[in-house]
Amino acid sequence: MKYYSTNGQAPLATLEKAVVKGLAEDRGLYMPERINRLPQEFFDDIASMTFQDVAYNVASAFFGEDIDLDALNDIVRSTLSFDCPLVRVTDNIYSLELFHGPTLAFKDVGARFMARMLGYFRSEEQINVLVATSGDTGSAVANGFLDVPGIHVYVLYPKGKVSPIQECQFTTLGRNITAVEVDGVFDDCQRLVKSAFMDEELNRRMHLTSANSINVARFLPQAFYYFWAYAQALRLGFARRQLVVSVPSGNFGNLCSALFGVRMGLPIHRFIAANNANDVFYNYLQTGRYEPRASVQTIANAMDVGDPSNMARILDLYEYDHEAICRHISGAAYSDEQIADTMRLCLAETGYVLDPHGACGYRALQEQLQPNEVGIFLETAHPAKFKERVDKILGIEVPIPDRLAAFMKGQKQSTPMSAEFQDFRAFLMAQ
Ligand SMILES: *Cc1c(COP(=O)(O)O)cnc(C)c1O
């Protein structure tokens, strides 16, 4: 399988090149040339399969031509060392809990998979991974890559804009993980990373790659848990009704992987892209115009993205057909106040504790579900990751899981950085 660039100006790439380079030469995002449909027997059997078996089938359809199948099987199994259970919240709304991994957010799936695949393709020279984070990516990537031989990770995060618990998860590790605290917003971090990839001299010297959801090895594996959600819906006996999946979205890697799943035959009827106040996608649905702008800070901070990188993939997948996109995906956008209200109401009515990101997904289902539909929202992070905020909103004490508490014992180490590329470049050249 070859990978093409969404900008159409770069040569086709092998899987190895797409994974090792991250971004194409023309700054486009790599897309697989074909999306293989999974055979009917797979869907006939899916309800009796394990999560790992489901994921291995999906992974083979994407990567099976280009990687040894036994190695791929090992990568899938060691990535998915935790479950993604589907939990009933109301009669017609279920939560797909994606926070049972080591850093308690869905990004563990993609980050762990990518670390293992990069390890598989690694050559003699050290690879340097650059990752911009608004919170969860940094922790998932740092932990996914910790102590992987031959790989060094630089995590760029906006100063004062990630929660203290999130910050501990990538600034206390040390070893092959360097945290860089940027005086700016998330979009500045993302711009620094993109500029570094475009700098030829820097690339020659450092073998740079990206672990943001622009990397195919990070975003495609996220399709695994949508198939697993469907398998669980079959077991719970409601998969015959029309399934609507609501995805709390920032950079749109998560939603985009689900759209690939649908092209592979996954019977999800439609999607909702749930946003916070950063509503460029919501506006695109209303107007047909995509107008990126600076992100604003919200209480669902991992979704504070003003220029979602995977928009390029969504537009490419639908051949820039705005109507087709609107038929499949509807939007929602919520203020901090609406998010907090939703969290309080959900706790009062159902006993379920939402985190601020999942709350956007839940509310969108409450508002938009039709009588013949069943909704699944993605609970993208554990509420304890945002403990100060969640406790204050709900007036309760969210218990901190042990694996999260362990991070908070470490010593914070990070390098302060301006938002100017020249400063970041000089820092990297000195490494
Ligand atoms: C990253 C993240 C999101 C947004 O996911 P995208 O794939 O960037 O759209 C939502 N919720 C949480 C908790 C996240 O960490």
Residue 250 CA to ligand 1 center (angstroms) comes to 5
In angstroms, the Cα distances linking 334 to 76, 300, 359, 361 are 35, 10, 10, 10
Which contiguous run of DSSP H or E holds residue 248? Answer: strand 242-248
Nearest protein Cα to ligand 1, atom 14: 302
- Reported as half-sphere exposure (CB side, CA atoms, 13 A), residue 137 has a value of 33
| Residue 144 pLDDT | 93
Q: Which residues have CB under 8 Å from 180's CB, separation 6+? A: 154, 155, 156, 157, 414, 415, 417, 424, 427
253 lines ligand 1 (CB under 6 A): yes
Q: Is 107 a catalytic residue?
A: yes
- Reported as half-sphere exposure (CB side, CA atoms, 13 A), residue 367 has a value of 17
Q: Which residues have CB under 8 Å from 101's CB, separation 6+? A: 81, 82, 108, 109, 112, 140
Residue 222 CA to ligand 1 center (angstroms) comes to 11
pLDDT in tens, 281-339: 999 999 999 999 988 999 998 899 999 989 999 999 999 999 999 999 999 999 999 99
Q: Which residues sit opposite 373 in a β-bridge?
A: 242
Average pLDDT, the chain: 94
Q: Which residue bears the tokens 């990537």?
A: 141
pLDDT confidence bin for 214, thresholds 50/70/90 = confident
166 lines ligand 1 (CB under 6 A): no
Contact assessment for residue 36 and residue 26, using Cβ atoms and an 8 Å cutoff: no
pTM higher than 0.75 for the full model? yes
Residue 272 CA to ligand 1 center (angstroms) comes to 14
Residue 248 CA to ligand 1 center (angstroms) comes to 7
Over the Cα atoms of the chain, what is R_g?
Answer: 20
Residue 11 CA to ligand 1 center (angstroms) comes to 30
Nearest protein Cα to ligand 1, atom 1: 302
pLDDT in tens, 85-103: 999 999 999 999 999 999 9
Q: Which residues sit opposite 4 in a β-bridge?
A: 31
**Mean per-residue pLDDT, 387-399:** 95
Q: How far apart are CA 364 and CA 112, in angstroms?
A: 29
Supply 53's token pair.
């078996």
Q: How many CB atoms lie within 10 A of CB 42?
A: 18
275 lines ligand 1 (CB under 6 A): no
Residue 192 CA to ligand 1 center (angstroms) comes to 20
| Residue 122 pLDDT | 81
381 lines ligand 1 (CB under 6 A): yes
Atom of ligand 1 nearest to the CA of 253: 7
pLDDT in tens, 183-197: 999 889 989 998 998
| Residue 79 pLDDT | 95
User: Could you write out the DSSP letters of every residue in 331-342?
Assistant: EEE--HHHHHHH
Name the nearest CA neighbour of 221 among 357, 71, 404, 63: 63
Q: Is the pLDDT of residue 280 over 80?
A: yes
303 lines ligand 1 (CB under 6 A): yes
Phi-psi domain of 271 (left: phi exceeds 0; alpha: psi -120 through 50; beta: other): beta
140 lines ligand 1 (CB under 6 A): no
Among 169-173, 245-249, 280-284, 373-377, which is the least confidently predicted range?
169-173
Q: Is the pLDDT of residue 270 over 90?
A: yes
Mutate to test the pocket of ligand 1, among 254, 276, 280, 314 (most ligand atoms within 8 A of CB): 254
In angstroms, the Cα distances linking 6 to 19, 28, 262, 310 are 15, 5, 20, 10
Mutate to test the pocket of ligand 1, among 213, 225, 357, 362 (most ligand atoms within 8 A of CB): 357
Contact assessment for residue 29 and residue 310, using Cβ atoms and an 8 Å cutoff: yes
**Mean per-residue pLDDT, 255-260:** 98
Q: Which residue bears the tokens 């979009």?
A: 187
Q: How far apart are CA 365 and CA 95, in angstroms?
A: 11
Supply 202's token pair.
């820097």
pLDDT confidence bin for 344, thresholds 50/70/90 = very high
Atom of ligand 1 nearest to the CA of 135: 15
pLDDT in tens, 57-69: 999 999 999 999 9
Residue 171 CA to ligand 1 center (angstroms) comes to 20
Supply 55's token pair.
């994921």
Q: Do β-strands 86-88 and 93-97 pair in parallel, antiparallel, or remain unpaired?
A: antiparallel
pLDDT in tens, 355-366: 999 999 999 999
Supply 96's token pair.
């797909």
Residue 109 CA to ligand 1 center (angstroms) comes to 12
Supply 32's token pair.
């697989």
136 lines ligand 1 (CB under 6 A): yes
252 lines ligand 1 (CB under 6 A): yes
User: Could you write out the DSSP letters of every residue in 115-147?
Assistant: HHHHHHH--SSPEEEEEE-SSHHHHHHHHHHTT
Out of 2, 21, 107, 161, the active site residue is: 107
Length of the chain, in residues: 431
361 lines ligand 1 (CB under 6 A): no
Q: Which residue bears the tokens 């990687």?
A: 67
| Residue 399 pLDDT | 94
Mutate to test the pocket of ligand 1, among 95, 106, 143 (most ligand atoms within 8 A of CB): 106
Mutate to test the pocket of ligand 1, among 99, 107, 143 (most ligand atoms within 8 A of CB): 107
User: Could you write out the DSSP letters of every residue in 360-393?
Assistant: HHHHHHHHH--TTEEEEEEE-B-GGGGHHHHHHH
250 lines ligand 1 (CB under 6 A): yes
Domains and their CATH numbers in the chain: 69-102+219-400 (3.40.50.1100)
Q: Is the pLDDT of residue 422 over 90?
A: yes
Q: How far apart are CA 180 and CA 387, in angstroms?
A: 24
Backbone angles phi, psi at 227, to 5 degrees: -65, -40
Contact assessment for residue 339 and residue 362, using Cβ atoms and an 8 Å cutoff: no
Among 19-23, 85-89, 244-248, 379-383, which is the least confidently predicted range?
19-23
Q: How far apart are CA 63 and CA 217, in angstroms?
A: 9
**Mean per-residue pLDDT, 41-54:** 98
